[in-house]
Structure 1
Amino acid sequence: MSDFEAEWQAWHDTREERLRGPDSWMAITAIHWLSTTPEGFDDVPGAWSGDERGATVTLGPGELLTVGTEVLTEGEHLLGPLDENGLTVTFEDASAEVADRGGRTIVRPMHPGSPNLLAYDGTPCFPPSPSWVLPGRFEPYSTPRGEAVGEVAFPYDGTEHRLVAWDGDDGTLWILFRDATTGVTTHEANRQLVTTVPTPEGAVLIDFNRAINMPCAYTDFATCPLPPTANTLPFAVEAGEMIPAVTPPRPTLA
């Protein structure tokens, strides 16, 4: 095994470990949209309601939730104000995200025994190849275009292609894209990747071997952004993650 293949395998193993973890997207058992009327759910303690202040949970006898270092016991508790990142409550061996989504409050429980997670058989990938590590050039926009920060131009098969990019973590660029494999051997929505940090001259590397699925490839309880039309590549990117494998098939959202 070459150094390139060994590094890719270590990255893939780490990715699979996260996907199989107790906080994996596949551990989500539901997404509950709260109203002003308190409602109980089978997968999280308490009766929940939501309004502009955040989420209110009323715990009954013997019900406990932990928020950070604080243990919530019997009674009514306000969790808020909330943003889209929200907060996490834990209970027994499970947790739940409590967050704002477009002015509405959600509770999204995660259980290590989720049927979806137990059915997961791994994410197959195309064989890694250095030929899919391509040099690129970041060209920032002079004026904002929504949240997009610029475009990455790169050559493939003698032609220059461009992908709209957003700010990633630690100075990288985040890209959503579709290609000729989309809906065939890769997930029907899109895939994502991050570039290296641009040099002062704007040079980046695009490693399609590390293109990964969006959360919506693994659960019906996630909402994922779609790439702009310009980010549909006219060729097959036979690199990175393919359609996840589940046995039996993952149940769909009613």
Structure 2
Amino acid sequence: MTTDTISPAIDPTGFVSDWEDWHAAHETQRAAADGFLAITGLHFLTTEPERFGDAPGAWSVDEVGPVVELAADEQLSLDGVELTGRHSFGAIAERDGVNARAGDAVIEIARRGGELIVRPRHPDTQFRAAYSGTPTYLPNPGWRVEARFLPFDPPRDVTVGAAVEGLQHVYSAPGELEFAHDGAPYHLTAFSGHAPGSLLVVFTDATSGLTTYAANRALTVAAPDAEGRTTLDFTRAVNLPCAYTDYATCPLPPAENRIPFAVEAGEKIPVARVAVTL
């Protein structure tokens, strides 16, 4: 895609400035003290209590949800309240979780792909300290593509793979996004986004595994207007946590979201990642 596709309504200078502000904020969030660059482990819970080197307590699951047993000299707090002895966190819904604290560390307790996990985050990790940013393509407004939202009736549950082998995610897909590239139509399945009405697209393209992360990238899409119009701003395609660490359970794109052409926009392969060594 070349710059001759830029809409006259887009001010290239303002576009680049806005993109730089957005990406700087995104990098700040990614490298936060409790962000995923600080993750030190991914622990799947079972009915058998187990201790982990990066979190206090012995962890297990009961008939309701995750449980921790704390020794007298172990400290853990939740919402500012110190926990002692045995504590049950109750039921946790899929893709939900709670954050406990152990000193400077955040202990994430969550459900992913039907499994209950503990995922500690320590701000003093070497990986976070050494992080120097993620390379990107230059922000080209030609990669802002008009799209039309086509709703599913009813919305569909879509099962996709995960960065962790054997794990699967089920996402609600309210519809698909139709757009054109070089005169040809394409369709991407869209999941429900975080903000009300917004959408999330997980995709790969012809750059994946070459200049961009092989498994996936993600794009947040603004809520469509009353006629279903919205924009795919591929310059804001970002890496998911699995591009940086093996301790992530990120979704893989559905088959229809494997774009056959090169999307030379957005974030590229990180310069480093945390790999699990056995």
Are the equivalent residues in 2 in contact too, given 1:57–1:78 (CA < 8 A)? yes
Q: Deviations over 1:184-212 (max 9, x none)?
A: 10001111102222111111111000000
Match of 1:164 among 161, 180, 189: 189
Matching residue of 1:150: 175
Q: Which residue of 2 aligns with 1:223?
A: 249
**Residues 250 and 48 of structure 1: CA distance in aligned 2, closer, same or farther (over 3 Å):** closer
Give the match for residue 135 of structure 1.
146
3-state SS in 2 of match to 1:171: coil
Gaps of 5+ in 2: 1-11, 158-171
> Does the 8 Å contact 1:152/1:162 carry over to 2?
yes
TM-score of the aligned structures, taking structure 1 as reference length: 0.93
Aligned to 2:260: 234
Matched ranges for 1:87-166 at <5 A: 87-146=98-157, 147-166=172-191
Q: How far apart, in 2, do the equivalents of 1:190 and 1:102 lie?
A: 17
Is the 2:92–2:110 Cα contact (8 Å) retained in structure 1?
A: yes
Counterpart of 1:78 (choices 85, 88, 95) is: 88
Q: Map 1:26-37 to 2 at 5 A.
A: 26-37=37-48
Q: Comparing 96-105 with 169-178, which one deviates more in the overlay? A: 96-105
Asked whether the equivalents of residues 112 and 249 of structure 2 are also in contact (C-alpha less than 8 Å), the reply is no
State how far apart, in whole Å, the 2-side matches of 1:101 and 1:212 are. Answer: 21
Q: Please state how far the C-alpha of 1:43 moved relative to its aligned partner.
A: 0.8
1:138-186 alpha-carbon deviations (Å, 9 max, x no partner): 1111233322211111111121211111221221121111110011100
1:245 equivalent in structure 2: 271
- Does 1:173 find its partner at 2:199? yes
Q: Provide the identity percentage.
A: 46
- AA aligned to 2:191 is W
Q: Which residue of 1 aligns with 2:52?
A: 41
Aligned counterparts of 2:204 and 2:261: Cα–Cα separation in 1: 10
Corresponding residue for residue 213 of structure 1: 239
- Superposed CA deviations along residues 43-90 of structure 1, whole A, max 9, x for unmatched, are 1111222222222222222321111132113x2222212223121110
SS at match of 1:154: strand
| 2-structure distance, mates of 1:162, 1:210 | 19
Structure 2 CA distance, aligned partners of 1:80 and 1:244?
Answer: 37
Q: Give the 3-state SS of the residue equivalent to 1:2 in structure 2.
A: helix
Aligned residue identity for 1:178: T
Q: Is the 8 A contact 1:180 1:235 kept in 2?
A: yes
| Counterpart AA for 2:215 | A
2 CA distance for matches of 1:230 and 1:39?
40
Alpha-carbon distance, 1:102 to partner: 4.8
2:163 counterpart residue number: none
Q: For 2:253 and 2:25, how far apart are their aligned partners in 1?
A: 26
Q: Contact 2:143–2:233 at 8 Å: present in 1 too? A: yes
Q: Does 1:193 align with 2:198?
A: no
Aligned to 1:170, the other structure's residue is in SS state coil
Q: Residue 245 of structure 2 contacts residue 275 of structure 2 at CA under 8 Å; is this kept in 1? A: no
Deviations 1:108-155 (A, max 9, x none): 100011233233231100000110001111111123332221111111
Contact 1:163–1:231 under 8 Å retained in 2: yes
Separation in structure 1 between the aligned mates of residue 91 and residue 185 of structure 2, nearest angstrom = 47
Size of the aligned set, in residue pairs, is: 251
